A and B are shown apart, each in its own frame.
Chain A
Amino acid sequence: MNFPILSSLILLPTIGSLFLFFSKDKPNNNQTIKYVALFTSIVNFLISIYLWYQFDPTTSDFQFVEDRQWIKGFINYKVGIDGISILFIVLTTFITPLCILSVNNTVKNRLRDFLIAILIMESFMIGVFCALDLVIFYLFFEAGLIPMFLIIGIWGGPRRVYSAFKFFLYTLLGSVLMLVAIISIYWINGTTDVVKLYELGIDVKYQNLLWLAFFSSFAVKTPMWPVHTWLPDAHVEAPTAGSVLLAAILLKMAGYGFIRFSLGLFPEASETFTPLIYTLSIIAIIFTSLIALMQEDMKKLIAYSSVAHMGFVTLGIFTIQQQGIEGSIIQMISHGLVSAALFLCVGVVYDRMHSRLISTYGGIVTIVPKYAVLFMIFTLAALGLPGTSGFIGEFLILMGAFKDNFLVAVLASLGVILGAAYMLWLYKRVVFGKLINEELKKLTDLNKSEIVILISLAIPTLFFGFYPEPLMNTIEVSVKNLIDMYNLNIN
């Protein structure tokens, strides 16, 4: 048996959080606490990079598989990765240290508990992307609710309680049906092992119901219109680090779930329901973009833009074209980087001015030039300017969509225009124009850690915008295999 690298990746943050748990939570201890958390998460990041390096992109088989008996006679603890999972794992391990770095200003009290929650959250998120057994997947998927509930509820804004409850109950409600479906699959096929299920296939007569049950969970988590309403609330109230985790990684769990389970396990049902997904995605893209245009709160605007971006993702996945799915994955990675950065950008000015209203700002370009530059990079990436990773994603998705359904592609393109409109308008109102408020003169430019965070997000955003090869290479074979399997079942 090889070294269980995936399990150690999952466990390491939890072990780090145990160290924190036994340390003293005093203000003068805060530095040490932060270093321990940072150290753990950076080590985890390095391991994941090593994993990516070791990863063999020429095969579509699952790699680094660990398979152990867990619940005797029923379920095995099985984890493993393919080209699709590895990217999300690296994204998770990359974003977490940045979150930890960013807590300096946002989290005033109980820093230790906050970092414990973040680290445990990281464990669960990595677990989701590694799981090769439906029950294990469900376990990690649901477990993430606990730390996130606390992050929003304890360290959030004024309406944190409402938002935390809404977030928790919405997602739980979506997920319980998935649990019923998972257990049903066990009794229909005698296993919940994803690899075996890929081979066995699921009886067509059950697929539609099972697909809907999984859909109910993923649709809430993605979030798709009309069950997206928890997201703006959760984003607005969550502390910056929480918003970042939520936007950058949590939303990706559902997209990942669509690819891995909805397409992989229920191809016939996916074929049946593609029009449904198309309709909901188009509504999400156009409708929420329009809503985003009207927002006065910066965080809310970015939250709605996330819904629109995730609309692109679901659209791309269900085109079942090589370009469409690859585009969706790259879009998710890109959105992970860009939305994280945008939330951090909002966090930066919020920390200084304690206002997220767009009308508070205006004309700050001369006062905080560094901030303006970095903010611009991410604004442009969010609207999908060529040369940023956002472009690659949207372009591939639209390409896939054109191949599959012309009308859908045209409507989705509208979203690109609207996206450009609300992002540019946001940027214009915040950064350019006349200085409307004397208070703004007191703004200080980015400090060292903020620069480090934003630059480390900007580098991959631009790098993958110009040179997406590493991403494409990693996922190509896995996606191709998925589509081949899908077409085999359909025909």
Chain B
Amino acid sequence: MENLNLVLPEIFISLAIMFLLILGVFKKDSSKLIHNFSLIILLITGGIIFNETLTIENTLLFNGSVVIDYLASFMKFITIIAALMALIVSSNYLKTFKILKIEYPILVICAVLGMMVMISSNDLIVFYIGLELQSLSLYVLSSFNRDEVKSSEAGLKYFVLSALSSGLLLYGCSLIYGFSGSTNFEIIANNLDSDQYVLTFGIVFILVGLAFKISAVPFHMWAPDVYEGSPTSVTLFFTIVPKIAALTLFIRFLYVPFINLIDQWQMILIFLSIASMVFGAVAAIGQKNIKRLIAYSSISHIGYALAGLTTGTNEGIQSSVIYITIYFVMNLGLFSCLLMLKRNDQYYETLDDLSGLSKNHPILSLSLLVILFSLAGIPPLAGFFAKFYVFMAVIEQSMYFLAIVGLLSTVIAAFYYLRIIKIIYFDQEKEKYDSDHSFWLKFSLTVSTILILIYFIFPSQIIDVVSRINII
């Protein structure tokens, strides 16, 4: 029974979801209350996990189907913080669009629960359950603004394509089960001796399914449409939170059962990584809508995160984890800016709307400048270090081709980030936007900008934290 302590965060969050549902059904006009409650719940869960992180040891639970280790705790913690921040900064947006309903925060927390299960999974079935819980919540969230055609369309698109990918993923799982005789990662690893090549099919199908979920090229087609159609608050959630969990799943799936088959999957991952980096960078150039542009930029960022995973080393994993963490901070800042582009209760989201922003909103523009240069990976901003760590790991394995292609694609990507900066700083100004933003929106923008800006003074801190991740 004492082991249940280790899944306390999951248990707590599940009970909380039920409590919130009941509260929402029985109490009228409780959307605001539930929103606040959900923030508190996420905060408490984060606290529990943080507390756990301090003393954690690798433990397997429930016949080895769930693993609690430092990687799991760290990623859960980041997921929860990301979800919390996503909820906090979007509250005003939700109110404006009148979609602050009781379901919204509850769905977010459900998705978070699904992600936590994914992150801790050590078994094909557990990981699939987590994945589906997350996906189902996200389908609904993306079409949450149901009166808007685009939003409904986004939800439908996401549902159809994601269901397809889930099908592929399940097929892969069944192949692996068939050939190894187990769904448990460790047992699969032990049974690998014979018939290795057949397992490759299973791995490929599962990788395809996972690549869909993190929108890696060539399985990215849904992302720009869904990102554009969903309400901005949901897009914010989409770009950050599910990626953290899906990346952890990549790590768990490839490194626990199949580390010895690295020759089989390494090329696939290298392909996914290079294709995402290059395609994401090139396709973003022509975009006019900021949310679409962010979709493409997130595709190329996922490419960099995957590059770290291709190495097959602990350093590679750590660099990917650092990448995704820094990416989360940068995107949080970017979306905070986007959520500030409001005039008379109308939000703006095309690049033209940023025109000449620097004249009327110098501080906001400065933050955007910092965030965009950081996304482009220009030193001394945090985004540079994210890339630096990844390429440190990649070059250690003498994968020069990957490193050079990756870095060249940053130059292409720099072009469209510069274009946004050009629009903000060099173009004619437009009418002023509202400046009465909520405290939390300003807070998240300030904090993320300052973190990005001064990260170079203490670059070791995050390495200290992440270097405890050790799963090989």
Q: Which residues of A approach B to under 8 Å, CB–CB?
A: 25, 69-74, 113, 135, 138-139, 142-143, 145-146, 149-150, 153-154, 160-161, 164-165, 168-169, 172-173, 176-177, 179-180, 183-184, 186-187
Least distance between B376 CB and chain A CB atoms (Å):
9
Which residues from chain B contact A70 at a C-beta distance below 8 Å? 459-460
Contact for B379 among A142, A161, A183, A184, CB less than 8 A: A142
Which residues from chain B contact A187 at a C-beta distance below 8 Å? 395-396
Which residues from chain A contact B391 at a C-beta distance below 8 Å? 179-180, 183
For the A-B complex with A71-B460, A149-B418, A172-B414 known, give 10 more contacts whose Cβ atoms are closer than 8 Å.
Answer: A72-B460, A74-B392, A143-B379, A160-B426, A161-B422, A164-B426, A180-B403, A183-B388, A183-B395, A186-B392
- Taking a contact as CB atoms under 8 Å apart, the answer to whether B425 and A168 are in contact is no
Identify the 9 closest CB pairs spanning chains A and B, nearest first.
A176-B407, A72-B460, A139-B379, A183-B395, A142-B379, A173-B411, A71-B459, A143-B379, A153-B426
Are A183 and B392 also in contact (CB < 8 A) when A153-B425, A176-B408 are? Answer: yes
Least distance between B378 CB and chain A CB atoms (Å):
6
CA distance A105 to B388 in the complex (A): 42
Q: Taking the complex as formed, is B227 at the interface, i.e. its CB lies under 8 A from any CB of chain A? A: no
CA distance A72 to B466 in the complex (A): 12
- Taking a contact as CB atoms under 8 Å apart, the answer to whether B404 and A180 are in contact is yes
Which residues from chain B contact A153 at a C-beta distance below 8 Å? 421-422, 425-426
Least distance between B316 CB and chain A CB atoms (Å):
13
Which residues from chain A contact B395 at a C-beta distance below 8 Å? 180, 183-184, 187
The chain A residue sitting closest to B395, CB to CB, is A183
- Taking a contact as CB atoms under 8 Å apart, the answer to whether B426 and A161 are in contact is yes
Q: Taking the complex as formed, is B304 at the interface, i.e. its CB lies under 8 A from any CB of chain A? A: no
- Taking a contact as CB atoms under 8 Å apart, the answer to whether B408 and A173 are in contact is yes
The chain A residue sitting closest to B423, CB to CB, is A161
CA distance A113 to B400 in the complex (A): 40
Which residues from chain B contact A149 at a C-beta distance below 8 Å? 418, 421
- What are 5 A-B contacts with C-beta separation under 8 Å? A71-B463, A149-B418, A153-B426, A173-B408, A183-B403
The chain B residue sitting closest to A183, CB to CB, is B395
CA distance A139 to B380 in the complex (A): 6
CA distance A164 to B421 in the complex (A): 11
Which residues from chain A contact B459 at a C-beta distance below 8 Å? 70-71
Least distance between A19 CB and chain B CB atoms (Å):
16
Q: Taking the complex as formed, is B250 at the interface, i.e. its CB lies under 8 A from any CB of chain A? A: no
Which residues from chain A contact B411 at a C-beta distance below 8 Å? 169, 172-173, 176
Q: Taking the complex as formed, is B373 at the interface, i.e. its CB lies under 8 A from any CB of chain A? A: yes
Contact for A177 among B396, B404, B421, CB less than 8 A: B404
CA distance A384 to B404 in the complex (A): 42
Are A165 and B379 also in contact (CB < 8 A) when A154-B425, A180-B404, A183-B392 are? Answer: no
CA distance A116 to B414 in the complex (A): 23
Q: Taking the complex as formed, is B19 at the interface, i.e. its CB lies under 8 A from any CB of chain A? A: no
- Taking a contact as CB atoms under 8 Å apart, the answer to whether A179 and B407 are in contact is yes
CA distance A172 to B384 in the complex (A): 13
Contact for A165 among B362, B384, B403, B415, CB less than 8 A: B415
- Taking a contact as CB atoms under 8 Å apart, the answer to whether A150 and B425 are in contact is yes
CA distance A30 to B422 in the complex (A): 25
Which residues from chain B contact A69 at a C-beta distance below 8 Å? 460
Q: Taking the complex as formed, is B410 at the interface, i.e. its CB lies under 8 A from any CB of chain A? A: yes
Least distance between B86 CB and chain A CB atoms (Å):
29
Contact for A146 among B378, B404, B415, CB less than 8 A: B378
- Among B450-465, those with CB < 8 Å from A are 456, 459-460, 463-464
CA distance A154 to B418 in the complex (A): 13
- Taking a contact as CB atoms under 8 Å apart, the answer to whether A165 and B407 are in contact is no
